[in-house]
Amino acid sequence: MATVAELTEPYGSFLIHPLKAGTGACAVCRTAVSGTYPRCYPCNEAAKTAGAQLADVVVPISIAVKGEQLATELWRYKNQYDQHARAVLQLRLAAVLWRFLDGHEACVADSAGVPQFDYVTVVPSTSGRDDHPLREIVGKIVGPTRDRYADLLISNPELPPDRGVHPDRFLPNEDVDVTDAAVLLIDDTWTQGGHAQSAAWTLKQAGATRVAVVVIGRHFDPSFRDNSKYLKAARSAGFSWDQCCVHTAGPWKRPVVPTAPYRGDP
């Protein structure tokens, strides 16, 4: 049975650390920005709309370059026709999230201003899909999250699934009280961030004091404007599981647990 370390080993050759804020990267989502702008256009518009109701920190595990391996896997794990292929990808991406959180959840919590997260949840699908594999990954497979997982959000069917930030894009699950809680919100792909930020807005309206977003892949189009410069710099830095875009490894870092995400082959 494969371990988390074994399942994630191939990813070290194609995952790409986002650049840190202030080095040509958006201070929120870490995508490329032009000149000296601190935020990309979508994140700046979201800030003007929602301000402090947005997530306190957004941490992409990797850049997901359009047409490349990670971006392809993030699409195929939920849309691939072959069920076995979807299960294999689901297991692999679960291991990526597991390994990252095992090493860097402390970084994320510190950046959000909390010692730890009380709840972990996911950004719900806006297409009405109840069997989204991300829920199983976070709620059942990944060791660092499954014991704290709760369905905190419900997609609002009255709003069209556009990419904008809306305070009522999602509805709170009234069966779970998040008053004064710190919530770790997981998403698979960040494109413009509208859904994740809408989810953070709903959680804060429901009483959560801090919301942090961890996203597996920050979608990245290298042909847009001068994004190729950003990508070249990010690639040249290389990838290490000991680093993340908000901190690097330190004495607080826990070792990666070489345990299979769950029993049984997909």
CA distance 132 to 84: 16
CA distance 218 to 29: 8
82-89: long-range contacts (C-beta < 8 A, 24 or more apart)?
A: 84/266, 86/133, 87/266, 88/266
For the segment 222-241, the average pLDDT, to the nearest whole number, is: 93
Residue 202 CB coordination number (10 Å) = 25
Tell which phi-psi region holds residue 24, choosing left (phi > 0), alpha (psi between -120 and 50) or beta: left
Confidence of residue 35 (pLDDT cuts 50, 70, 90): confident
| pTM score above 0.75 | yes
Confidence band for 74, pLDDT divided at 50, 70 and 90:
very high
**What H or E segment, with its residue span, contains residue 94?**
helix 83-112
pLDDT of amino acid 159 = 79
pLDDT(256) > 60: no
94-103 pLDDT, tens per residue? 999 999 999 9
Which residues are registered as beta bridge partners of 217?
Answer: 62, 189
Q: Parallel, antiparallel, or unpaired: how do β-strands 182-190 and 170-172 relate?
A: unpaired
SS (H, E, C) 182-219: EEEEEEEEECCCHHHHHHHHHHHHCCCCEEEEEEEEEE
CA-to-CA separations, 170 to 53, 133, 208, 219, 243, in angstroms, rounded: 14, 19, 15, 22, 32
Quick one: what percent of the chain has pLDDT higher than 70?
A: 91
* Average predicted confidence (pLDDT) for the chain: 90
Q: Domain locations in the chain? A: 10-237
What distance in Å separates the CA atoms of residue 203 and residue 167, rounded to the nearest whole number?
Answer: 10
pLDDT at 150 over 90: yes
C-alpha closest to that of 107 among 252, 255, 210: 252
Would you state the structure tokens that stand for residue 222, as one six-digit string?
A: 């290298």
User: Distance of CA 209 to CAs 27, 74, 90, 144, 223, Å?
Assistant: 21, 30, 31, 21, 38
Over the stretch 1-30, which tens digit does the pLDDT of each residue have? 789 999 999 999 999 999 988 878 999 999
Please give the full DSSP string across 239-255, using - where no structure is assigned.
Answer: --TTB-SS-B--TTPPP
Token pair of 97, please? 């999230």
The span from the first CA to the last CA of the chain, in angstroms, equals 11
